[in-house]
């Protein structure tokens, strides 16, 4: 068999295989990526890569710390995971002034510190 015939046969076989995969059963549609069932024992393992320099958000300066800060602390607003629009975090709503240089944030009534103390603005 010549190299040209072998290449044609290989192309035909690969095309047929792709057609079978494309026409196969549909993949389950989910709003989440990956496995969403919790692991046994409700254990969360968070792998960040390199060792963080600090868990204090005021001292954090690198990506490992930033990823941990986002997981540990909630800001006034968060980003919607699909649209990246601001969504409520600790603040349930906010109002900008006329030229959007100042904002007034209205905190959730049930917002609390990690020790359980109520969060209040001053």
pLDDT (0 to 100) of residue 102:
95
pLDDT (0 to 100) of residue 22:
73
pLDDT (0 to 100) of residue 27:
62
Along the chain (122 residues), what's the average pLDDT of each consecutive run of 10 residues? Answer: 82 78 66 68 76 85 85 88 92 93 92 86 70
Domains and CATH numbers, the chain: 43-73 (no CATH), 76-122 (3.90.76.10)
pLDDT (0 to 100) of residue 28:
62
pLDDT (0 to 100) of residue 24:
66
The whole-model pTM stands at: 0.51
Going by the DSSP 8-state scheme, the letter that residue 112 receives in this structure is B
């Amino acid at each position: 068999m010549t190299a040209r015939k072998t290449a044609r046969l290989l192309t035909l076989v690969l095309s047929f295989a792709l057609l079978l995969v494309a026409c196969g059963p549909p993949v389950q549609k989910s709003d989440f990526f990956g496995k969403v069932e919790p692991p046994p024992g409700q254990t969360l393992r968070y792998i960040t890569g390199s060792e963080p320099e600090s868990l204090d958000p005021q001292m954090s300066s690198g990506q490992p710390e930033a990823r941990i800060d986002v997981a540990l602390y909630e800001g006034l607003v968060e980003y919607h995971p699909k649209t990246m629009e601001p969504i409520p975090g600790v603040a349930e709503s906010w109002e900008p002034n006329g030229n959007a240089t100042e904002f007034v944030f209205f905190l959730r009534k049930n917002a609390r510190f990690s020790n359980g103390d109520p969060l209040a603005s001053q």
